[in-house]
Structure 1
Amino acid sequence: MSRSNSSWWASSTSSARRTTLGASAIALALIAVCYFVWMSPANPIAEVRDSVTAAVVDPATVADMKQERNRLLSRTVELESKMDEKNGQLARLSTQLESTQRKLAEVTVETAPVVKDNNPPVSKTPAKMPAKTPAKTPTPVKAPVKTPAPVVAAPVEEPVVIPTKAQIVNPTSRYLGLYTTQAPFNWATYDEVATKLGNEPSMVGYFSGWDETFRANAVTRAWDRNQLPMLTWESRPIGSPNSQVDEPDYQLPAIIGDPATGTPGKYDEYIRQYAKDIVATGLPLAIRFDHEMNGVWYPWSETTGKGEPINGNRVGDYVKTWQHVHDIFEQEGANNLVIWTWAPNIVNNLPAANKSVEFLTSLYPGDEYVDWVGVSGYLRPAYKADNNFTFDYTFGSTLDQLRKISDKPIVLAEIGASEVGGKKAKWITSVFDALADPKNADIVGLGWFNLAVTSYTEGELATNDWRIDSRPESLEAFKAGILRPEDNFNLTPIPTP
Structure 2
Amino acid sequence: MSSLTATGSWWAGSRTRSRATAVAAGGLVAVLAALSVIVWTSPDISPVEQTIRAAENLDKAARAAEEREQLLARIDALEAEVDAATDAQSVAEAQLSTAHDDLADSDGALQAALRELAVLQQVRTASSEESSSSTPVSSGGAAAPVAPAPTPVTAPSRASLLNPDAMYYGMYTEQAPHNWATLDATSLKAGGLPSLVGYFGGWDEDFRSSAVTRAWSRGMLPMLTWESRPIGAQNDVVDEPEYSLPKIIDGEFDSYLRKYARDIVATGLSLAIRLDHEMNGTWYPWSETRSDGTSINGNGPGDYVKMWQHVHDIFEAEGAGDLVIWVWAPNRIDRLPSSLSSLERMQSLYPGDDYVDWIGMSGYLRPPYDEGSIGFDTTFGATLSQLRQVADKPIILAEVGASEIEGHKPEWVTSFFEGLADPANDDIVGFAWFSLAITTYVQGERATNDWRIDSRADSLAAFREGLASLGDGVQVQDVG
Task: Judge same fold: TM > 0.5, yes or no.
Answer: yes
Query: Which residue of structure 1 lines up, in the alignment, with residue 171 of structure 2?
Result: 178
Q: Which residue of 2 aligns with 1:327?
A: 313
Q: Which residue of 2 aligns with 1:462?
A: 447
Q: Which residue of 2 aligns with 1:53?
A: none
Report the AA paired with residue 431 of structure 2.
Answer: L
Return the alpha-carbon distance in structure 2 between the equivalents of residues 338 and 440 of structure 1: 24
SS at match of 2:415: helix
Aligned to 2:411: 426
SS of residue in 2 equivalent to 1:249: helix
2:231 is the alignment partner of 1:238: yes
| TM-fit CA distance, 1:204 | 0.5
Shift in alpha-carbon separation, 1:486–1:255, aligned structure 2, 3 A: same
Per-residue displacement from partner, 1:435-480 (whole Å, max 9, x unpaired)? 1111100000000000000011122211100001011111011111
Q: Which residue of structure 1 lines up, in the alignment, with residue 397 of structure 2?
A: 412
- Secondary structure of 2:159 counterpart: helix
Checking the alignment, whether the CA contact within 8 Å between 1:208 and 1:238 is kept in structure 2 is: yes
Q: Closer, same or farther in 2 for the Cα pair 1:318/1:199, shift >3 Å?
A: same
Match of 1:207 among 200, 208, 215: 200
Q: How does 1:299-448 map to 2 (within 5 A)?
A: 299-386=285-372, 388-448=373-433
Most deviating of 161-170 and 330-339: 161-170
Shift in CA distance, 82/203, structure 1 to aligned 2, threshold 3 Å: same
1:223 aligns with 2:244: no
Call closer, same or farther: CA 1:302–1:73 in 2, change over 3 Å.
closer
Q: Which of 481-490 and 469-478 deviates more?
A: 481-490
- Do the aligned partners of 2:169 and 2:475 also contact (CA within 8 Å) in 1? no
- Cα distance in 1 for partners of 2:337, 2:184 equals 39
CA contact (8 A) 1:343 1:375 kept: yes
Rounded to whole Å, the distance in 2 between the matches of 1:77 and 1:210 is 20
Q: Note the 1:132-281 alignment, pairs <5 A.
A: 162-257=155-250, 265-281=251-267
Contact 1:455–1:463 (8 Å) recurs in 2: yes
Instruction: Mark the CA change 1:276 to 1:160 in structure 2 (over 3 Å): closer, same or farther.
Output: closer
Partner Cα separation in structure 2 for residue 275 and residue 351 of structure 1: 37
The 1:248–1:490 alpha-carbon spacing in structure 2 relative to 1, beyond 3 Å, is: closer
**How far has the Cα of 1:493 moved from its partner?**
2.7
**SS of the residue aligned with 1:199?**
coil
Change (3 A) 1:412 1:313: same
Please state whether the residue corresponding to 2:258 is helix, strand or coil. helix
Secondary structure of 2:439 counterpart: strand
Look up the SS of the partner of 1:208 in the other structure.
strand
Call closer, same or farther: CA 1:315–1:230 in 2, change over 3 Å. Answer: same
Task: Tell me which amino acid in the other structure corresponds to 2:208.
Answer: R
Amino acid at match of 1:371: D
Equivalents in 1 of 2:217, 2:350: separation in Å?
34
The verdict on how the C-alpha distance between 1:83 and 1:476 changes in structure 2, with shifts beyond 3 A counting, is farther
The residue matched to 2:441 in structure 1 has which SS?
A: strand
1:493 aligned counterpart, secondary structure = coil
Q: Distance in 2 between matches of 1:252 and 1:297?
A: 15
Take 1:424 and 1:463, find their aligned partners in 2: how far apart are those partners? 14
| Per-residue Cα deviation, 1:1-58 (whole angstroms, up to 9, x for no partner) | xxxxxxxxxxxxxxxxxxxxxxxxxxxxxxxxxxxxxxxxxxxxxxxxxxxxxxxxxx
Distance 1:218 1:308 in 2: 38
Q: Deviations over 1:108-150 (max 9, x none)?
A: xxxxxxxxxxxxxxxxxxxxxxxxxxxxxxxxxxxxxxxxxxx
Measured in 1, the distance between the counterparts of 2:429 and 2:324 equals 16
- Kept in 1, the 8 Å contact 2:215–2:222? The answer is yes
Alpha-carbon displacement from aligned partner over 1:207-264 (angstroms, at most 9, x marks no partner): 011111100100000001110000000000111111101111011111101xxxxxxx
Q: State the secondary structure of the residue aligned to 1:246.
A: coil
Larger radius of gyration: 2
CA–CA distance in structure 2, aligned partners of residues 82 and 253 of structure 1? 35
Query: What is the rounded CA distance, in whole Å, between the counterparts of 1:247 and 1:234 in structure 2?
Result: 12
Report the identity percentage. Answer: 58
Aligned-residue offset at 1:197: 1.3
Match among 460, 467, 470 for residue 475 of structure 1: 460
The CA deviation at 1:389 is 1.1
Structure 1 distance, partners of 2:92, 2:409, is 42
Q: Is the 8 A contact 2:166 2:429 kept in 1?
A: yes
Distance 1:174 1:347 in 2: 24
CA distance in 2, matches of 1:399, 1:351: 18
Deviation at 1:395, TM superposition (A): 0.4
Q: Is the 8 A contact 1:85 1:187 kept in 2?
A: no
TM-score (norm 2): 0.70
From the superposition, tell whether residues 68 and 472 of structure 1 become closer, same or farther in structure 2 (CA, over 3 Å).
closer
Q: Which segments of structure 1 move beyond 3 Å, counting only runs of 4 or more?
A: 67-86, 156-161
**Structure 2 residue matching 1:283: 3-state secondary structure:** coil
Corresponding residue for 1:295? 281
For residue 482 of structure 1, report the CA deviation from its aligned partner: 1.1
Q: Is the 8 A contact 2:228 2:276 kept in 1?
A: yes
State the shift of 1:382 in Å.
1.5
Aligned-residue Cα RMSD (Å) equals 2.5
Superposition map of 1:44-59 within 5 A: none
Give the whole-Å Cα distance in 2 for the aligned partners of 1:186 and 1:85.
11
Is the aligned partner of 1:494 residue 2:466?
A: no
Provide the rounded CA distance (Å) in 2 between the counterparts of 1:168 and 1:78. Answer: 33
- For residues 473 and 69 of structure 1, the distance between their equivalents in structure 2, rounded to whole angstroms, comes to 34
Q: Given that residues 100 and 179 in structure 2 are in contact (C-alpha distance below 8 angstroms), is that contact kept between their aligned partners in structure 1?
A: no
Deviations 1:355-387 (A, max 9, x none): 11111000000000000001001001112334x
Distance (whole Å) between structure 2 residues aligned to residue 84 and residue 331 of structure 1: 29
Question: How far apart, in 2, do the equivalents of 1:392 and 1:408 lie?
Answer: 20
For residues 281-304 of structure 1, give each alpha carbon's deviation from its aligned partner in whole angstroms, at most 9, with x where no partner exists.
000000000000000100000010
